[in-house]
Amino acid sequence: MYAVRKWSVTHARGLNRFYTLFEKAVVGFAPLFRAIGYDRLERPVAAVEHGEKSLLIDCQMCGQCALSSTGMSCPMNCPKSIRNGPCGGVRPNGMCEVKPEMRCVWVEAWRGAGTMGEAPIMEVQPAIDQSLKGRSSWLKVAREKSAAGEAE
Amino acid sequence: MAEGAARRENSLRTAFAAGHFVLTSETTPPASADPAHVIEKVSPLRGLADAVNVTDGAGARVRASVLAVSAVLAQQGIPPILQLTVRDRNRLALQGKVLGGAMVGAVGMLCLTGDAVDQGDEPEAKAVFDTDSAALMRMARTMRDECKLPSGRDLKAAPDLMIGAADLPREPSPDFKPDALRAKIGSGADFVQTQYAFDLDLLRRYMAFLMDEGLAQQTKFLIGIGPIASARSARWMNENLYGVHIPDPMIARLEGASDQRAEGKKICVELLHELRDIPGVAGAHLMAPNQEAACAEVIAESGLLDTRV
């Protein structure tokens, strides 16, 4: 929903704080996830994740969430799905080149990032891994961060 | 041919029209930016192969572009057949490649789906599949025969490419329906190049079936064969290449030879002569990865070109 999506960007800072805590909790659950089996969890968790993120940010389930680096504006809603933006086509009034009725996702991203203090939006995002599409980014974070934690 | 078509003669079409037993071969572009690496591989085929396929990102591995390598072949006097997969490009790019291919001197294009990206150099890449190989054939046919783009916009010159499709010879069991092949022919396949068909008994049954169905008469069948390097490589192909069956006696013959490589070429020459007598077969497509020279030797040794008038 477009209005909610805009609200999310306006409240990027708070939302990001919430997600940071949420991520810690998710990583904390990693041993439990492992016990149940990530493969078995994939579908139900992805479904819940999709429901929640669809409401807040019109999530497209790219499987590699970049929200905390993009001011809570989902780059996958960009018609060109660019992961580093905006592109050269953004209109002077901040509207999208392809969909003139929509605010540029990346203009929004910079707005949201501006409220977040630090600026992870300055980091260049890598090309998307297409094989992760439709999978849960939460489980990916749990799996990777818990593995990294053990390796330290 | 539509008015405005490029006036250059298409040597592949001429060879088919003359009723020759057409011989095509194949090269895979190098992972290199130096045209010398293409030239050294393909030059043995000059004057021997009627046309040479240039593979397009086979195995989803990165290599020099099919258009650039086709241009190099054409400059070398070797008529290229552009292989085009729908894996890496949307229809805009494909239509551009059809024009560009004809512009650099390609005589044909082989329309393919393309190997899956997950086994290649970049498993994370987006597989495009905006369209499929039959749709690509239709687009190329419209461009060639109507001198316009599928969108309706006129072309200044039509791309005079023979359109090709791939096929896999198989046992014509009672439940087998050649629907896919029929669709490809219906989409404009002027020629068909097949996967390796070393089992000529099976091939004879398959071609007889296609003759009965009236399909072989509607296109030009080029049967895939090649000089097998060794018994070991024959076994590897049987295990790893989909749809390939090299009969045991052939493997035994390779194994028993003092020079397996030479025996492989000899077998290939014999197969060429046998293929010529199979109704519905218009020629052969010689493939041997990184052994273009061996394919050239097979064509020369077969003496098939000497019988042409």
Please report the ipTM that was assigned to this predicted complex. Answer: 0.70
Which pLDDT value is given to residue B1?
Answer: 46
Give the CATH number for residue B111: 3.20.20.220
- pLDDT < 50: residue spans in chain A: none
Q: Which residues of A touch B123 (CB under 8 A)?
A: 131
Within a domain: B308:
no
Nearest to B118 among A127, A128, A131 (CB): A131
CB contact (8 A) between residue A131 and residue B127: no
- Rounded-to-integer distance, Cα B219 and Cα B171, Å: 20
Within a domain: B163:
yes
> How many residues comprise chain B?
309
Q: For residue B44, how many other CB atoms are within 10 A of its CB?
A: 20
Which pLDDT value is given to residue A152?
Answer: 63
Q: Which residue has the higher pLDDT, B268 or A145?
A: B268
Q: Is residue B193 a contact partner of residue B226, using CB atoms and an 8 Å limit?
A: no
Within a domain: B1:
no
Within a domain: B113:
yes
Bridge partners, A103 (sequence order): A95
CB contact (8 A) between residue A129 and residue B118: no
Which pLDDT value is given to residue B297?
Answer: 98
* DSSP labels, B36-73: HHHHHHHGGGTTT-SEEEE--SGGG---S-HHHHHHHH
pLDDT band at B7 (very low <50, low <70, confident <90, very high): low
Shortest Cα distance, chain B CAs vs residue A128, angstroms = 7
Which pLDDT value is given to residue B158?
Answer: 97
Whether the per-residue pLDDT at B309 is higher than 90: the answer is no
Give me the helices (H) in B76-199, please.
91-103, 133-146, 179-186
Whether the per-residue pLDDT at B5 is higher than 90: the answer is no
Domain that holds residue B206: 11-302
Which pLDDT value is given to residue B277?
Answer: 96
Bridge partners, B80 (sequence order): B52
Whether the per-residue pLDDT at B175 is higher than 90: the answer is no
Taking an 8 Å Cβ-Cβ cutoff, which residues of chain A contact chain B? 127-131
Whether the per-residue pLDDT at B48 is higher than 60: the answer is yes
| Number of folded domains that form chain B | 1
pLDDT band at B4 (very low <50, low <70, confident <90, very high): very low
Give residue-wise pLDDT tens across range B60-90.
999 999 999 999 999 999 999 999 999 999 9
Domain that holds residue A48: 2-151
Per-residue pLDDT, averaged over B260-279, amounts to 98
| Number of folded domains that form chain A | 1
Within a domain: B2:
no
Give residue-wise pLDDT tens across range B133-153.
999 999 999 999 999 999 999
